[in-house]
Structure 1
Amino acid sequence: MKKPTVTSLTLSLFILIAASCTQQSSSSEDTQLGDLQHSFSISDKASDSFDQGLLLLHSFEYDDAKEAFQKATEADPDELMAHWGLAMTHYRALWGLQDVEAGRKVIQAVGETKEARLKKAENQLESDFWEGVEILYGEGELDERNKGYADHMATVYAANPDNQEVAAFYALGLMWAGYTNQDNLNKSAEVAAGIISENPTHPGALHYMIHANDDPAYAQIALTAADKYANVAPDASHALHMPSHIYVALGMWNKVVSSNIASYQASLHRMEAKGLGGKERGYHAMAWLHYGYLQTGEYQKAADLLAEIIGYHQDSTASKSYLITMQNEQRIEAGYWAEGLTPQKVDYSQLGLSEKSAMHFFNGLLAFDEKDAAAIQLEIDGLNRQLSKASLLVNDEGIAMCSAGPTRYAPTKEGLKKTQVVIHQMKALLAQLKGDNVLTEDHLTQATQLESECSYDSGPPFIAYPSFEQYGDWLLAQNRPEEALTQFNQSLSNRKNRNKALRGKVAALEALGRTEEAKEVKAIISQFAPAQKVAVR
């Protein structure tokens, strides 16, 4: 027997969590993941697990969603939508972690041919959704399949404009097809907003609204969604983290910190409740929390978190990635290396240009501190080799070739350009160490010109020491505050309320005798960073 066509779901899962976790219900309360009003006809045997999986899927809690959909398929092997959900848990395209082979195995288990599988759909809606996974796991490069899925869901949406799940997966599909395409992002936000107007607690709609506006120019549009999402789905650790995408873009550093404390703690409670290993730790939230601490001037708290991840960095590829970026940011933002910590040499062979750039720049900065010009040159040479290798893997469209599988660490045209910025930054450090002001400025000028052509990075930036700030710091040292002020303002135009840029702006204004303006900037800093915790410039 099938469920009625429209259901209103508020998922109640009972899991053991510690009462001390902020934004988490106590161990005696139900877990909350949001509300759905879907019109799938799911069998009674599979419905509870399916509903659970769908809510988790919308908050990108993929592993837990996979468990739920697997239970649904075991409860009713003939429930096609349970297999659809299971296949979708392997398509983590916004993270660049899609597992095409695993998804294809799920599909093949339903039937040997596409025609045989589609015959199992009980209505047009099921057929339309199943057709979508056939496209995602079909032949062709990743970008081709993503565009095909978005086009397909556009057609389904046109035929079902009031169906919230059609709209939600259309909004997501638009971002898969073009996360750097502003038209796609605008349309995705528009579709998500339509869902929210009908169902303000739909976790997917709130989630996708944030992703579609994850840029300083658009972030204000999603601020209400960001503030609501963590309250709507407080027991999804990713939902607790996601608001900080908007908070970073708007320079709301205290909220960045609180969001990621909650998210990281939720990941620890999940590990404890499920008996999971270290690779399930919330490293993403941990890294964003570290960045938030640095922006709020909590340099010791940031150092403590860095010390913690040093102990975990062998757990997974992700932990290695975040360790590299965190230690680079620690040195840049604080202005010195954390006392008592040993810089870590991390194997980056399986990582991307962002991590490789961070590793070499970090080593270059430490060499600069030691006035070791030869060591800086070695880092420049090493990153140049990585850039040359990566350049061979990027096609004319600016994306990695042979991108059927995971693409998280695959090189892109944008990544190549940002790596060139970092190389110029290191060359500037080397020239500065040698006392060659002309060459220093030449490299800083080239770095800023290239960076001005680059897009915004969500969260902690690829170019961890924005070249505008590096140039501004150097100009201040040359007693050229007017030009330095221009550079700090340029950095702040794309990175609102960055602590280091604001402090540079204060120094430039004070050097120019513009004390009232300097006081205004100090007032901004005081909102999130206590004065007594100012870092070394």
Structure 2
Amino acid sequence: MRISGLYTIITLIIFLLAETASAQHGHKRAQHDHGKVDFETSCTTEAQNHFINGLGMLHHMMYDQAADIFNEAIDADAECAMAWWGVAMTQLNPLWAPPNEKTFKKGYDAIRKATGAGDPTEKEMDYIHALKAYYTTMEESGFREGLKAWERGLKKVHKKYPDDIDAGAFYGLSLLATASRDDDTFSQQAKAGALLEELYEKAPEHPGLFHYIIHAYDNPVLAEKGIEFAHGYDKLAPNVPHALHMPSHIFVRIGEWDETIDWNRRSADAALEQPVGNLTSMHHAHALDYMIYAYLQQGRDGKAQEVLDELNLTRNYQPGIAAYNITAAQARFPLERRQWEEAAELPLRVHSEFPWDNYPEFEAITKWARGIGAARSGNIKAARESMDGLKKLHERTVQKGEDYWALLVDAQRKTVQAWILQEEGKYEEALRVMREAADQEDSVDKHPVTPSAVLPARELLGDMLMLQGKPGEALAAYKKTLKISPNRFNSLFGAGMAAKIMGDTDQARDYFAVLHLIAVPEESGRDELEQVSTFLAGN
């Protein structure tokens, strides 16, 4: 067995590679601090150094960059079992999406090599076997079952090595990955958060603990617990794109729009400096979408347009979660501004170079936005065409095995159907279908790649109830939307208007005052803010 002797806590620093090295490895890497990890391997000293750097990037979910570094470890020592484990880990994105066939094969091949490489320690083999269980189970039973097998394996590793911070961190991550999306108590997230906070007391500079704690508290029930960690993450990793973005997972949950904008501006700028080969990092699109969402909640439509233009002018995005952010951003801009005719005319595909055929669940966002826009501007024929398109995209999403997104695509189809019924004067049936869509959407929490539902179905239900002269029920719908997504512009305005119509001046003033506080009237041309200012001036 070859022990490197490197067993001290190592501050992770990746230096800017020369242009030739950048071309060779497919990434430009700026100089970064990543936090501190401590993991002794049975590899050569050179491979150990690379492994530590790769492990830090892995905890930050900078998977492509981490894969490159683990491959550098393999170049230094092909018998370094944990370097092969690292490559296999970078092909598992547990909180994002199932791997495609190519990604799965790459990871499975790497974990097989890990099992036969070198002379690993018992602990290393325990890590390897836990990850191998994911790959073998997924091959037989699918992604979800694979994640459960990984969780079971990591639970054993954590129990066997309770002082191993990485074992505990990865076990916490696996709990988040396997948590039910329809548990509105978020009990498993709370369990993971408690474990990770306990470990944080022992290792306050560990990158995985900061990161996974924020993910644990990225929900409406636990968000307040994540504020401290959201404010501290950048000190640990001041130039890592995903680390700079992660605090906004908490800030969108509490409706802190300035913070959301500032963090994601930093994240987008850092991501642009760290391409993935010749592709623009998906972290860039991810950050810009969050910025657009936040600007729109402040009524700063001009700023939102600038960021949307930046997104659309940037080319060659890395496939993956960027598919959601690209389509969602296009839809948000007209829908949040209530520009229904504009929404009805959204282009079906932007970024024509992007492999859209692989993402029916995200193409559905555009179809849905066009359908809502068409129905609410009176173009029933176009709305029906969108509804038919959504049905086909739903079928493809089901075939793809994306059950979570399939449920949401079906809710989108029902939303369009409801507004067609509303336009046709079938009011009771419209409300029935709209309530069904809202309940369906609310039955699952938002996905980690999203800042919020593009336009919450519950908010749309409130709009429909207002049109039907039912302000009391509308107010209840807006309140429920705000409980899930605090400080949303349209729900605050809708709640205030509903209360005003009901003659509840105090409650109307409360909602309008919050909207006036979070909005930036001098940067907004929305009529709603004029109405709010007039009301507050007289009440």
Does TM-score exceed 0.5, indicating one fold? yes
CA contact (8 A) 2:54 2:67 kept: yes
User: How far is 1:123 from its partner?
Assistant: 2.2
Aligned mates of 2:96, 2:406 — CA distance in 1: 19
Aligned mates of 2:442, 2:274 — CA distance in 1: 41
User: How far is 1:168 from its partner?
Assistant: 1.4
User: How far is 1:136 from its partner?
Assistant: 2.7
- Residue of structure 1 equivalent to 2:301: 299
- Residue of structure 2 equivalent to 1:133: 131
Which of the numbers 457, 469, 478 marks the counterpart of 2:468?
478
- Residue of structure 1 equivalent to 2:479: 489
Aligned mates of 1:280, 1:424 — CA distance in 2: 30
User: How far is 1:378 from its partner?
Assistant: 1.1
User: How far is 1:411 from its partner?
Assistant: 2.2
- Residue of structure 2 equivalent to 1:43: 44
2:163 aligns to what SS in structure 1?
coil
More off after superposition, 237-246 vs 281-290: 281-290
CA contact (8 A) 1:132 1:153 kept: yes
- Residue of structure 2 equivalent to 1:329: 332
The superposition leaves residues 67-111 of structure 1 with CA deviations (integer Å, 9 ceiling, x where unpaired) of 11111111122222222222212222222153220012223445x
1:278 aligns to what SS in structure 2?
coil
CA contact (8 A) 2:173 2:212 kept: yes
- The answer as to 2:224 corresponding to 1:225 is no
Aligned mates of 1:325, 1:154 — CA distance in 2: 36
Which of the numbers 358, 374, 399 marks the counterpart of 1:350?
358
Which of the numbers 218, 238, 255 marks the counterpart of 1:234?
238
1:249 aligns to what SS in structure 2?
coil
Aligned mates of 1:442, 1:30 — CA distance in 2: 56
- 2:297 aligned partner, one-letter code: Q
Matches within 5 A, 1:54-65: 54-65=55-66
User: How far is 1:313 from its partner?
Assistant: 6.3
CA spacing shift, 1:458–1:169, aligned 2, 3 Å:
closer
User: How far is 1:280 from its partner?
Assistant: 5.3
User: How far is 1:264 from its partner?
Assistant: 0.5
- Residue of structure 2 equivalent to 1:442: 432
1:343 aligns to what SS in structure 2?
coil
Aligned mates of 1:491, 1:38 — CA distance in 2: 45
- The answer as to 2:409 corresponding to 1:419 is yes
The superposition leaves residues 280-305 of structure 1 with CA deviations (integer Å, 9 ceiling, x where unpaired) of 56111121111111112211121222
CA contact (8 A) 1:333 1:535 kept: no
CA contact (8 A) 1:215 1:458 kept: no
Matches within 5 A, 1:329-478: 329-336=332-339, 343-346=346-349, 348-353=356-361, 355-368=362-375, 370-391=377-398, 393=399, 410-412=401-403, 414-458=404-448, 460=450, 463-478=453-468
Aligned mates of 1:269, 1:61 — CA distance in 2: 14
- Residue of structure 1 equivalent to 2:279: 277
Aligned mates of 1:48, 1:42 — CA distance in 2: 9
CA spacing shift, 1:127–1:499, aligned 2, 3 Å:
same
TM-score by length of 1: 0.85
- Residue of structure 1 equivalent to 2:257: 253
Matches within 5 A, 1:201-212: 201-212=205-216
- 1:332 aligned partner, one-letter code: L
- Residue of structure 1 equivalent to 2:79: 78
The superposition leaves residues 134-190 of structure 1 with CA deviations (integer Å, 9 ceiling, x where unpaired) of 223324222333222211221121121111111112212223333637454333222
Which of the numbers 265, 283, 286 marks the counterpart of 2:269?
265
Aligned mates of 1:472, 1:340 — CA distance in 2: 19
The structure that is helix-richer by fraction is: 2
CA contact (8 A) 2:458 2:477 kept: yes
CA spacing shift, 1:381–1:478, aligned 2, 3 Å:
same
- 1:453 aligned partner, one-letter code: S
- 1:250 aligned partner, one-letter code: I
CA spacing shift, 1:331–1:280, aligned 2, 3 Å:
closer
Aligned mates of 2:501, 2:441 — CA distance in 1: 26
CA spacing shift, 1:121–1:528, aligned 2, 3 Å:
farther
2:242 aligns to what SS in structure 1?
helix
Aligned length: 500
User: How far is 1:130 from its partner?
Assistant: 2.0
User: How far is 1:239 from its partner?
Assistant: 0.5
CA contact (8 A) 1:418 1:463 kept: no
Aligned mates of 2:238, 2:72 — CA distance in 1: 23
- 2:380 aligned partner, one-letter code: A
CA spacing shift, 1:364–1:81, aligned 2, 3 Å:
same
- 1:127 aligned partner, one-letter code: M
User: How far is 1:238 from its partner?
Assistant: 0.5
Structure 2, unaligned runs of 5 or more: 19-29, 529-539
1:277 aligns to what SS in structure 2?
coil
CA spacing shift, 1:137–1:454, aligned 2, 3 Å:
closer
Aligned mates of 2:408, 2:491 — CA distance in 1: 19
- 1:303 aligned partner, one-letter code: Q
CA spacing shift, 1:87–1:127, aligned 2, 3 Å:
same
- The answer as to 2:318 corresponding to 1:311 is no
CA spacing shift, 1:484–1:108, aligned 2, 3 Å:
closer
Aligned mates of 1:311, 1:30 — CA distance in 2: 27
Identity among equivalent positions (%) equals 25
User: How far is 1:451 from its partner?
Assistant: 3.5
- 2:473 aligned partner, one-letter code: E
Aligned mates of 2:395, 2:242 — CA distance in 1: 36
CA spacing shift, 1:12–1:456, aligned 2, 3 Å:
closer
CA spacing shift, 1:122–1:280, aligned 2, 3 Å:
same
CA spacing shift, 1:151–1:370, aligned 2, 3 Å:
closer
Aligned mates of 1:482, 1:107 — CA distance in 2: 58
CA contact (8 A) 1:36 1:202 kept: yes
RMSD over aligned Cα atoms = 2.9
- The answer as to 2:509 corresponding to 1:519 is yes
TM-score by length of 2: 0.84
User: How far is 1:216 from its partner?
Assistant: 0.7
CA contact (8 A) 1:352 1:411 kept: no
- Residue of structure 2 equivalent to 1:197: 201
